[in-house]
């Protein structure tokens, strides 16, 4: 057992039969999950499709935790009030069990990728507060209940805190209709539905001290009220043009003082500058995004990041990448449709990049 009371790779998981399959992989490259076995779990987000491809084989070698990239979000899994689509999430859960990989749940409550019906009465008017609370409760009990005991950690609420320094909560239908109580209720219901799962508040841009302070205030208040919240998720969608060592240090240091478990939940390091809105491709985007300079910058920043993750590994329990390799990442479609990005540790041929070697200290 670890400091977090969960079993990392090397003990229980190593005994599972599927590890034999991973171990027969002939590639002599060190495995990320073995290199970091004493520090934290190494995760990746997956889809029901990509786990069946070569990326799935790479996953078995290097990763011991997975997150569903999309199929457990509210809209895909609960497209109509009385209809759930379980097939995708079930197949990922079965893959995790079969291969002795930990499974993170993502996400129970998020205003994006949530279905329109959730906020409407049958006559098309805005749903009442009471009705929305009932729907939220039903949703959480159905989804967290179905995967009870299979999920080690749930992102219960995603992105509720505003980027705007002048407001605390983002104006979303959940917030506008229920008020901030939707957050507390979501945690309480998730805990009732699956008492063994660790429950996380997950967000991005936490290196911004103003946003971070709001998150710390919120989780501290929740804890004071006795709400079952166990961790903070740092998405970590960063860019080589923006991530700074001192900002990351301050972020990990401040969050570590909350006493909550930290998960890096959606790690990638774009080779393009971050942009808040989607836009069409222009000439500047036409050239391939990867250059020797960007490769070098990415390597140094990944090295810096993992040095800090190691330093704070008494607090960090899992580091999850958002996607497996540069063969496909959501950043190929965001913020510019069709512009290739190279944000991960494995390239399009699934070969470890210079960033990979830096991360493992070679
Ligand atoms: C947010 C969400 C993720 C994913 C990414 C982009 O970070 O939490 O589920 O949608 O955006 O793909």
Please identify which of the residues 55, 69, 206, 266 carries the catalytic annotation. 266
Ligand 1 pocket residue status of 268, Cβ below 6 Å = no
pLDDT at 236 over 70: yes
Fold of 3-274+283-359: TIM Barrel (3.20.20)
| pLDDT band (50, 70, 90) for residue 21 | very low
Mean pLDDT of the chain: 93
**Bridge partners (DSSP) listed for residue 318:** 41, 263
Give the sign of the dihedral formed by CA 23, CA 26, CA 32, CA 35: positive
Please tell me whether the overall predicted TM-score, pTM, comes out greater than 0.75 for this model.
yes
Phi, psi at 339, each rounded to 5°: -95, 120
Ligand 1 pocket residue status of 206, Cβ below 6 Å = no
Residue nearest to atom 6 of ligand 1 (CA): 330
Choose between 31 and 286: higher pLDDT: 31
Indicate if 130 belongs to the active site.
no
Interatomic CA distance for residues 362 and 357, integer angstroms: 5
Q: Are 162 and 170 in contact (CB under 8 A)?
A: yes
Residues 6+ apart with CB under 8 A from 351: none
| DSSP-derived secondary structure letter, 285 | H
Mean pLDDT of the region 287-300: 91
Indicate if 85 belongs to the active site.
no
| pLDDT band (50, 70, 90) for residue 253 | very high
| pLDDT band (50, 70, 90) for residue 3 | low
C-alpha gyration radius of the chain: 20
Please identify which of the residues 55, 159, 184, 206 carries the catalytic annotation. 159
How does pLDDT run across 114-134, given as a tens digit for each residue?
A: 999 999 999 999 999 999 999
Peptide bond into 218 cis (omega under 30): no
Mutate to test the pocket of ligand 1, among 154, 322, 343, 344 (most ligand atoms within 8 A of CB): 322
Ligand 1 pocket residue status of 47, Cβ below 6 Å = no
């Amino acid at each position: 057992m670890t400091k977090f009371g969960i079993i990392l790779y090397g003990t229980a998981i190593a005994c599972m039969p599927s590890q034999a399959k991973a171990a027969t992989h002939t590639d002599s490259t060190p495995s990320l999950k073995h290199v970091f076995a004493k520090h934290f779990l190494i995760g990746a987000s997956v889809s029901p499709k990509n786990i069946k491809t070569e990326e799935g084989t790479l996953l078995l070698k290097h990763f011991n935790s997975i997150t569903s990239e999309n199929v457990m979000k509210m809209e895909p899994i609960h497209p109509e009030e009385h209809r759930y689509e379980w097939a995708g999430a079930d197949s990922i859960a079965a893959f995790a069990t079969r291969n002795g990989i930990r499974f993170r749940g993502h996400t129970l409550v998020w205003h994006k990728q949530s279905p329109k019906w959730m906020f409407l009465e049958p006559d098309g008017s805005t749903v009442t507060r009471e009705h929305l609370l009932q729907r939220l409760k039903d949703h959480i009990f159905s989804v967290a209940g179905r995967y009870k005991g299979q999920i080690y950690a749930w992102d219960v609420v995603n992105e509720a805190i505003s980027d705007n320094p002048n407001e605390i909560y983002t104006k979303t239908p959940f917030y506008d209709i229920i008020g901030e109580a939707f957050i507390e209720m979501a945690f309480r219901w998730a805990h009732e539905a699956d008492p063994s799962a660790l429950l996380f508040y997950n967000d991005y841009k936490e290196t911004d001290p103003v946003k971070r302070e709001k998150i710390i205030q919120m989780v501290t208040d929740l804890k004071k009220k006795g709400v079952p919240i166990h961790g903070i998720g740092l998405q970590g969608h960063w860019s080589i043009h923006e991530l700074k060592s001192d900002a990351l240090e301050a972020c990990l240091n401040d969050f570590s003082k909350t006493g909550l478990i930290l998960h890096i939940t959606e790690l990638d390091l774009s080779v393009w500058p971050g942009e808040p809105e989607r836009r069409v491709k222009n000439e500047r985007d036409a050239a391939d995004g990867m250059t020797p300079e960007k490769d070098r910058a990415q390597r140094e920043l990944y090295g810096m990041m993992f040095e800090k993750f190691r330093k704070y590994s008494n607090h960090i329990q899992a580091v999850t990448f958002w996607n497996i390799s540069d063969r496909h990442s959501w950043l190929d479609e965001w913020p510019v449709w069709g512009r290739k990005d190279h944000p991960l540790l494995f390239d399009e041929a699934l070969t470890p990049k210079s960033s990979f070697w830096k991360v493992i200290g070679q």
